[in-house]
Amino acid sequence: MLLHEQTQALLDVLPEPALLVAANSEILAVNRALLSELGRSRDELVGSLLRDFVANAPAQAAEYVRSCTRAQERSAPGTIALKPNSGEAIAYRADGYAMRIGPAQSPCALLRLTSRGRNEEFLAILAHELRNPLAPIRNAMQIMRVAEGDVATVAAARVIVERQLRHLTRLIDDLVDLSRITQGKIELRRDSIELTKVIQMALEIARPQLEGKQHPLRISMAGEGLYLKADAHRAAQVFANLLNNASKYSAAGSPIRLEGRLEDEEIVVRVIDEGVGIPAEMTERIFDLFAQVDRPGHGHGTYDGLGIGLTLVKRLVELHDGSVMAESDGADRGSRFTVRLPRAAAPNLADVHPPEAPTHTPGPGLRILVADDNRDAAQTLALMLRLDGHEVRAVHDGAEALLAGDSFEPQLVLLDIGMPVLNGYETARRIKGRPWGNQTYLVALTGWGEEADRSKALEAGFEHHLVKPAEPGALQAIIDRIVAGG
């Protein structure tokens, strides 16, 4: 029927889930967004009664629909929880609109649904998670102020700040990565890399968490020379997330195992813990965005997190043409995560360069110019570099950087990109036009680490591109290179 097709087409363009329901609660039409959220087919829903798909208070939902059909235009929003094909009910805020359709002008209600449970709850958890580390940081700073002369106390407070900052950085990195992946913006740099290397990098990342809870860690690698075609950083992130979780969801001191081997020409890595375990019905869903296991008796706060770590794991593994799955024998029986990745050929030996020997010889200090419109960022970076024996000027805009550079003639310039008057790219171009510009090494410091940003920076004349907050090691490596005359 033409009318039906038109209604269907209109509903389908709505980005949010929506459905059309008759006054007697018969479902007349559903849109694509709703079908995909519920994982159900149109045939299942259309012609059925809404109450068969309502998880809580079906009578109340029917009453809401009836009141919508009677109302003038738009009704006050209601709440409706719908049963997906599998897994837990999804709670929606429903906005009801009275409609009359068909030759008989039969009253019905258009319900537009917003998955309120998820969005609102996510924002609340996010705010909570981001605020959590701030209290200990503030306390630690207060301790440092009061106990200024007491070296041991100040050192203990510093460890707390470092730990909390690491936690905060990880949360934010996960969020940023996730938004990149969902926009299809993540770029992998895949090389042949040995599995043991990747695992070492993962252990490096997970070490603070693992050491904090003193887990005996057993690593077994079967088979020599297992190579992956992988972006080493991203692959390490996968195993680091699994190791972090293995620790987070087990008691302190409980053992964690990591096993790597070749099975059917695939590289298989298992991370096994003896912790709280995962209920059978959740082993697939935990990879969904924001999915967390309800564990009665463990209030929020016992397990912190946003429910995005495993989503990242899954997406990253899939970007590497692999798969990941979770298994558990039930509550308190531990969990086992298995990652499978295609095996790559060992790299041609001629292509392998011996690693450069570390060359950190605290040579003479450099003249360094720092430009960042975030004054605290500029001042702290300058202070750090001064403590390392360099002569440093800090300015807060590109225009100031050019002025200061003309008299100071820095050997290294660290430029923020987003600055108000003259941005980093333009500043870099102009520096390259100055007489001193060819003798100086330009490093971009930005919040954006995508490949496009990197190439834009290189085009503008930067020799290097570091993502903020720059790791002290990465900056040191650049300084070493300049000191060594490279």
Is 88 or 409 the residue whose CB approaches ligand ADP more closely? 88
Count of Cβ atoms closer than 10 Å to residue 160 Cβ: 17
Question: DSSP class of residue 54?
Answer: B
Is 138 or 298 the residue whose CB approaches ligand ADP more closely? 298
Residue 367 to residue 393: CA distance in whole angstroms: 8
Residue 145 to residue 147: CA distance in whole angstroms: 6
Residue with nearest beta carbon to ligand ADP: 305
Is 307 or 322 the residue whose CB approaches ligand ADP more closely? 307
Residue 403 to residue 412: CA distance in whole angstroms: 15
Asked whether 180 and 186 are in contact (CB, 8 A), the reply is yes
Please, what is the Cα angle at 96 between 95 and 98, to 5 degrees?
155
Type of residue numbered 151: V
Question: Measured from the CB of residue 305, what is the shortest distance to ligand ADP in angstroms?
Answer: 2
Question: Measured from the CB of residue 250, what is the shortest distance to ligand ADP in angstroms?
Answer: 7
Is 247 or 411 the residue whose CB approaches ligand ADP more closely? 247
Asked whether 111 and 103 are in contact (CB, 8 A), the reply is no
Question: Measured from the CB of residue 292, what is the shortest distance to ligand ADP in angstroms?
Answer: 4
What is the contact surface with ligand ADP in residues (CB under 6 A)? 245-246, 249, 273, 275-278, 286, 291-293, 305-311, 335
Question: Measured from the CB of residue 253, what is the shortest distance to ligand ADP in angstroms?
Answer: 16
Count of Cβ atoms closer than 10 Å to residue 394 Cβ: 23
Handedness of CA 125, 126, 127, 128 (dihedral sign): positive
Is 31 or 335 the residue whose CB approaches ligand ADP more closely? 335
Count of Cβ atoms closer than 10 Å to residue 336 Cβ: 20
Helices 151-182 and 309-319 pack at an angle, to 10 degrees, of: 50
Is 310 or 415 the residue whose CB approaches ligand ADP more closely? 310
Question: Measured from the CB of residue 326, what is the shortest distance to ligand ADP in angstroms?
Answer: 7
Asked whether 417 and 465 are in contact (CB, 8 A), the reply is no
Question: Measured from the CB of residue 210, what is the shortest distance to ligand ADP in angstroms?
Answer: 13
Is 53 or 249 the residue whose CB approaches ligand ADP more closely? 249
Question: Measured from the CB of residue 294, what is the shortest distance to ligand ADP in angstroms?
Answer: 8
